[in-house]
Structure 1
Amino acid sequence: MRAVTTGYDISYPQCGQTFPGGGAFRVVGVNGGIVFAANRCLGPGEGPSQLAWAGRDAQLYANTGNPGPALSRHWPLGQASPRACPASRASADTADCAYDYGWNAAADSYATAVRAYVALGWAVAGARRTPVANRWWLDVETANSWRSNPELNVAALRGAVAYLRSVGAASIGLYSTPRMWRAITGGTRAFDTNLTWVAGATGSTSARSMCVSTGFTGGRVTMVQYVAGGFDVDRTC
């Protein structure tokens, strides 16, 4: 029987605001709402450091997306690894290119986290890895840019998971709701062995009920999010 604990998560919308106190664990977003954009309050910056609030052993989460070659200046045109992506924008709307995009986006998010650790004095200058093997979550929401083809979106998520695995993340999970997951991935079960963090509970009772249901990935629900006292609360399952 797993012990049930509750913690909190914050990100860029809470910059300069009061952070919640207590909690058995803390989760902090490294992005500013979209991929390739940093949370300006992750390390010392425009307000109190959210990573300092979360602690050295923080759980971290990163935004995801898959805008395609026509909409992104970060599209991996001509990239040869980890997958080969054509140099021509007209030919680069492929699963391999989407995989590279997801890989690169996760790499950028990870580098943002490393810089915050360095700025707080928790990692040495020039470090390329976080000083601890954090648990990472990938935020999969319809508010970000996605293709209409779920297979391409799944490829981007596969790339992100693969990158975080390559740098030794302690574990890698997905954050979403069943509705958004179906809209973005077609309801794929390709990630049913990954951790699952479900959003959308209306309170602690609702969260408890959602804990015993099957997660949107097809696997076990790991954690459920709800709002209480103006803060995002996370209940483990």
Structure 2
Amino acid sequence: MNHYAARAARVSAGPVLILIIAILGMLMAPPAGAAPSAGEGTEQSLGNDVAWPQCNKALPSAPAFGIVGVNNGLANTTNPCLAEELRWAKAITVNPTGQPNVALYVNTANPGLAGSWWPSSNDYPEGHTVTNPYGTCKAKDVGAACSYMYGYAKAYDDAYIRGISSPGDYLWWLDVESGNSWSATDKNANRAVLEGMTDFFHSIQADVGIYSTGYQWGQIVGTVSSAGNLYTLPSWLAGARTASGAKANCANAPLTAGGKVSLTQFVSKGFDYDYSCI
């Protein structure tokens, strides 16, 4: 997940001033793992998301809720620390927000024929024919029909082959970022991938949301029709640089006109923090 962290500016100073600043920093620093605050009560609304970059590292302490990445950075991979990070999230007992204690997020993409696997029919898994709103997927077709099947298949894999027990019990966030592979010319096909994933997760009675920034969503997906299954999905907005900025971003427009902003994200002290807007 791209966290859009700001890079700190370097300031030149003499040795004495550096020593004074270092001492003050130690005296004023919050305890390890303390949640940043954007005002009265804000820290109580903060959760954390973790994934493969946090493998074999200390995880945030006492979050209000946890969101765990299922993949290893690509849509066709598994986070090697998934089981450990799920245990961390499932240990959460105090959650004053409207978020579930534990949610999941998955990488999304539309690699087309450049991918290591691309569908050639409406069958997935083998022997199960999927009802495809875009028609029949055929070999070497990179249009909406096969894109929908690619999304459906990746969601099926996320639910059933990556070690998730009771996948229908979770809220699944679709991570939509320009860092993954997408068609540069066919937003309809990109949209179909996400629709295929959403239809699969809905078929197992799971909830679905969308993670992105407004800019990236516009570049990859564009406008969503009110008739589509993405239209009313909740948004998780990245891009804030501080806790107060994340709190303010709750008032931003959602990624789809029929949805609402449920979460916002910022980075602090090496951790991803998520502010609950509900």
TM-score (norm 2): 0.72
Q: Which runs of 4+ in 1 moved over 6 A?
A: none
Which residue of 124, 146, 155 maps to 1:97? 146
Is residue 60 from structure 1 mapped to residue 112 from structure 2 by the alignment? no
- In 1, the alpha carbon distance for the partners of 2:145 and 2:260 equals 29
- Map 1:147-186 onto structure 2 (within 5 A): 147-148=183-184, 149-169=186-206, 171-186=207-222
Distance (Å, rounded) in 2 between the aligned partners of 1:71 and 1:229: 37
Residues 68-87 of structure 1: pairs in structure 2 closer than 5 A: 68=112, 70-80=113-123, 81-82=129-130, 83=132, 84-86=136-138
Q: Does 1:210 align with 2:275?
A: no
Shift of 1:73: 2.9
Query: Match of 2:110, as an amino acid?
Result: N
Q: Is this contact kept in 2: 1:76–1:85, CA < 8 A?
A: yes
Aligned mates of 2:161, 2:88 — CA distance in 1: 16
Q: Distance in 2 between matches of 1:53 and 1:112?
A: 21
After TM superposition, the structure 1 = structure 2 runs for residues 14-33 of structure 1, keeping only pairs within 5 Å, are 14-33=54-73
Superposition CA RMSD, Å: 1.8
Asked if the contact 1:51–1:116 (Cα under 8 Å) also holds between the matched residues in 2, the reply is no
Q: Cα distance, 1:220 vs. partner?
A: 1.6
Question: Is the 8 Å Cα contact of residues 234 and 254 (structure 2) preserved in structure 1?
Answer: no
Q: Which residue identity lines up with residue 104 of structure 1 in the other structure?
A: A
Match of 2:169 among 133, 148, 161: 133
CA distance in 2, matches of 1:17, 1:186: 37
Q: Any stretches of 5+ residues in structure 2 without a counterpart? A: 1-41, 92-100, 124-128
Deviations 1:132-187 (CA, angstroms, capped at 9, x unpaired): 61111000001111012100000010000001111111x21000001110110024
AA matched with 2:198 = V
Q: 2:272 is matched by which residue type in structure 1?
A: D
Answer whether contact 2:246 2:265 (CA < 8 A) is retained: yes
1:108 matches 2:157: yes
* Number of residue-to-residue matches in the alignment: 212
Query: Which of structures 1 and 2 has the bigger CA Rg?
Result: 2
| Sequence identity percentage | 35
Mind listing any 5+ residue stretches in structure 1 that lack a counterpart? 44-48, 118-128
For 1:180 and 1:36, locate their aligned partners in 2 and report how far apart those are by CA, in whole Å: 21
Range moving further from structure 2, 218-227 or 10-19: 218-227
Shift in alpha-carbon separation, 1:143–1:176, aligned structure 2, 3 A: same
Q: Please, what TM-score do these two structures have when normalized by structure 1?
A: 0.84
Q: Is the 8 A contact 2:121 2:146 kept in 1?
A: no
- Does 211-220 or 32-41 show the bigger shift? 211-220
Matched residue SS, 1:182: helix
